[in-house]
Chains A and B, each alone.
Chain A
Amino acid sequence: MHFSLRLFTLLAGLFLAAASYAADTAPKLTTADDLGPEVAQPIEFPHFRHAGDEKDGGMQINCMYCHTYARRSIVAGIPPVQKCIGCHQNIPSVRETPRIKQLFEYYDNNKAIPWKKVHDLPDFVRFNHERHIKRFYFQQDRPYQEVCGYCHGDVKTMVVARRQKSLTMGWCANCHQKDHPVNATSSETGHGPNDCFTCHK
């Protein structure tokens, strides 16, 4: 008898818990902040050196100086080698370091660098850099580290970029549900589009 009673209360408790959880759950589930796998790149590009803060010996270059397409295209893109050379041919101090040597090799052989995709969404997902940059960088006028950091994490402290956010659907949706101010000044808010069709292609 008592055994069974205990059993009953246990089961009932579990049932209720599961139910209430289910009914009230979704938003809580999307707080993942995990680290993606290490990706081996042809050249170990030191992000911290370029984009990092002064105190860490960084040069605080704006992300969109190199990833220049982010503000006008759906993809952020990788700068053409020419761009790297453009600066580095005027920086003799580091000219002989192994990475820069590699870089110049590629350039001299007129070969594109086979960078690996780090933040690689599935093929049926459409993520538009332009829209997000417009909204948060230009309209809301947030600092670029923050804006890019929403999805790309704290790249300015990394050497080779590595995924820091889960980039799962729930994670995206979590932000799309929030109300964001329209621009830096106004109090009006709006949330991201909810249509499946907007992000799924």
Chain B
Amino acid sequence: MLALYNNFDEAEKVVSELRSADIKGFNADDDLTVKSPIEHPEVEEFLGDKPVKVQWFTLVGAVMGGLLAFFLISGSQASFYSQMKGGKPIVPIPPNMVLTYEMFILGGVYITVLGFLICAGLPARRSPLYSAKVSEDQIGILVKADESAAATLKGIFAKHKALEIQEEAGR
């Protein structure tokens, strides 16, 4: 069930009420989603804290990239017919460090983005309950609930004069 609201204040009220009101067959933690046209941290506070795990991907990626770079480069220098160049050691540290640094960043960025896609569940199919308005200027509140809870929820939505309420039956 998707309800659209005009501004954040209303949306927040709705959310908080939904969470406080204990409705059978409706778990506010899992079944409640807010869709907004812009990034809006306040709403999330009302949704209760949900941790973000992207940083871990970042760490792994960066470290992996760095190590890979160093060993790949030094290893290949060692296996390159051990050619002497300009009186420098065959495996010189400074240049390898430069490249390690670059690969460190490269790995970091790539894996971070990968992490983002995973954590944000993208790419994903769009749910049928979606309104173009959300990408424009309205806030959508999407709830999943049993038939039994439907009426109550609708009530709550209506109370806060939702602009529009979409409903999808089944499941």
Contacts and interface: CB of A to CB of B under 8 A. Distances in A.
Nearest to A177: B81
A194 B121 contact: no
Interface in B120-164: 121-123
Given A173-B81, A196-B81, A22 B121 contact: no
B108 to A, nearest CB: 14
A23 interface: yes
A3 to B, nearest CB: 8
A16 to B, nearest CB: 8
User: Which size bracket describes the interface of B in this complex?
Assistant: 10 to 19
B118 A26 contact: no
Contacts of A5: 118
A14 interface: no
Contact of B68 (A4, A19, A26): A19
Interface in B34-82: 68, 71-72, 75-76, 79, 81-82
A159 interface: no
A94 interface: no
B118 A1 contact: yes
Contacts of A7: 117-118
Contacts of B20: none
Contact of B121 (A1, A23, A24, A196): A1
A22 B81 contact: no
A138 interface: no
A41 to B, nearest CB: 36
Interface residues of A, number: 15
B83 A8 contact: no
Interface in A18-40: 19, 22-24, 26
Q: Is the interface of B mostly helix, strand, loop or mixed?
A: helix
A11 B81 contact: no
Contacts of A22: 72
Contacts of B123: 4
A11 B114 contact: yes
A23 B75 CA distance: 6
A19 B75 CA distance: 12
B75 A8 contact: no
A1 B120 CA distance: 8
A169 to B, nearest CB: 11
A70 to B, nearest CB: 26
A7 B68 CA distance: 21
A26 B117 contact: no
B118 A4 contact: yes
B117 A4 contact: yes
Given A194-B82, A196-B81, A196-B83, A23 B71 contact: yes
A53 to B, nearest CB: 39
B121 A8 contact: no
A127 B164 CA distance: 84
A22 B123 CA distance: 31
Given A1-B121, A19-B68, A23-B75, A8 B114 contact: yes
A194 B80 CA distance: 9
Interface string A149-192: 00000000000000000000000010000000000000000000
Nearest to B121: A1
Interface of B: 68, 71-72, 75-76, 79, 81-83, 114, 117-118, 121-123
Given A8-B118, A23-B72, 7 more contacts: A1-B118, A1-B121, A4-B117, A4-B122, A7-B117, A11-B114, A19-B72
The 8 lowest CB-CB distance pairs between A and B, nearest first, are A194-B81, A4-B118, A19-B68, A1-B121, A23-B72, A23-B75, A8-B118, A4-B117
